[in-house]
Structure 1
């Protein structure tokens, strides 16, 4: 579906926006719930990715298709490897069949799993013969997607002797690893993370007081509202729920980053209020986003909309997302009149004040491309192609934008 976003202004007193539960937390807890059925989860994400996880975990079929859901592919590969007596084929979209998974498969096989490739070596689809994993020590390259690491950590408590995971080299996306370990701790699993060694002790059953967990709302999704407030006049205010100051999510760094754009964050009773208190004072923004790469698109578009430059680094994992996000960002920003340079792990946006009107933004089957560019409707008219791709993480995104003043038509 093609949506047209007409040049808009945020209404004076917008209603509180209720954001769905974090996809990252939800998918971790859904896997843990499959291992520990007594676990109850509240405020589960209504995203496509989390629905895919739920459907796959409940399925009795021996053929699982996760479509574009990368987290589901990685987590489910680890889960099904441990399910004795189940022979599973797991596949996905054409793009999913291009996304690497060899690092995880090698680690699982080293622990005793039986996983093989059905098409391209190192990529899905996979044939998984579920069996007990008998070994408890494995090494993994640390500079790849943290989801490989989390996939191993999530199944670790159900292994007979737990797991000792050695990470080789510089670790990527530490907050996401800490999120996984914190959730394990909350259900009663003993863990430690010292230097490059992670240890997870076995746990057979949850205690009654550790059987209910509530998912915090998604910080990646709130990034688009940070961008909206940053691109709006001083005094613009938006409140969102459900958020907490001591978040497990790495993207909560938004509260600090967006102070450079004149946006302040106030934590209330389970809410955050974003206020545009000042105009952005910087000519250029420098951000190291190794621990929060999913907000790179949002920050780049915010800077472009404000007419300032940015240098974003630590982005090497963006090349293996739903699309090559660095190439996609460069292509779409340049349609709008930007000058962008990229490398394998960085993006450099040159400052400019020109924004081309009525540009059609391609989304590349990537929910974050659609949502990151939407705030530019505060500056110009634009179209978003395949706009319903947002359902991957935030199904009510367009409706929520309308409630705060965006003018959107089909």
Structure 2
């Protein structure tokens, strides 16, 4: 009995030390231990520079809010994506290759973001759209995407609004876009590169002289002879060939980065599988990515919330290499219940997913970031309760 009492006393003493002494010894600067019960996704934010950062103070204020919300990574738009506030292709860093956006000649938004993000323990990715590039097109008119219209090759200018696409197949275009990526990789301590607009805009392009000659040589097809109004074997051959060219370009990007900064992560924002006409086939370049960010804007495309954890995620899982991280990218629209339902569905069906990214086309209001944090907190509570 005495031996048993001594053993019990030692056990109680060890429990006391573990409960009260060890936490104090960690010190206030140590990160708190993560509960094994935690099932919360990491939060990533996708930021359009033109709408959010005009100076260092803007950047610091944003990252303060991001830190408070527990954001793990931020994708900073360092090359303009759309043609709204500024022409696509202009940049927000100190480039010697591409034109710097007006108002940013003396403010390097990428350098500021890396400084403020890293000081707060937040990873910073350079978000770099590729083939939607007005700045490149204006400097090199011969790079413009050409489209087949009634058997003739015409400069592509968009469907419902003016668009500025350059030809993804043209080696000069590829070298230019790659040179911007490598400029960032060599000069900035980014944690990752996020590719975007890695595509064509429709099935009937490109039909410029270079592409036509190459297609005739490699697949015995002249795109101007194709009837794009109906599905056929030749359309399938053309589609596969175009997608393969995108895949080859991604491999070139991967190898170029690896030679200089093998630690940098490479990801891509991709349209969902319904957009078959744009020539994106993840299966052809998943092995060259570390992550993949499928766009999951369900309201934008009139899909039900279940589409995200259903068709979209199933397609990505089927096409990606097994080791690649999937980070679904939502846009914050929809109700709290809808977004919690989406996150809960992903947690239940795809337990390997660890992060969710959120995109905003406008200014990131602190209240919107707080709303996203509440979505994650609520989804976590539901997961623990299951």
> Is TM > 0.5 for Structure 1 vs Structure 2?
no
Q: Structure 2 length normalisation: TM-score?
A: 0.27
Query: Could you tell me the TM-score, scaled by structure 1's length?
Result: 0.26
Structure in which a larger fraction of residues adopt helix: 2
Query: Relative contact order: is structure 1 or structure 2 higher (C-alpha 8 Å, sep ≥ 6)?
Result: 1
* Structure with a larger share of its residues in strand: 1
Kindly name which structure, 1 or 2, has the bigger radius of gyration based on alpha carbons.
2
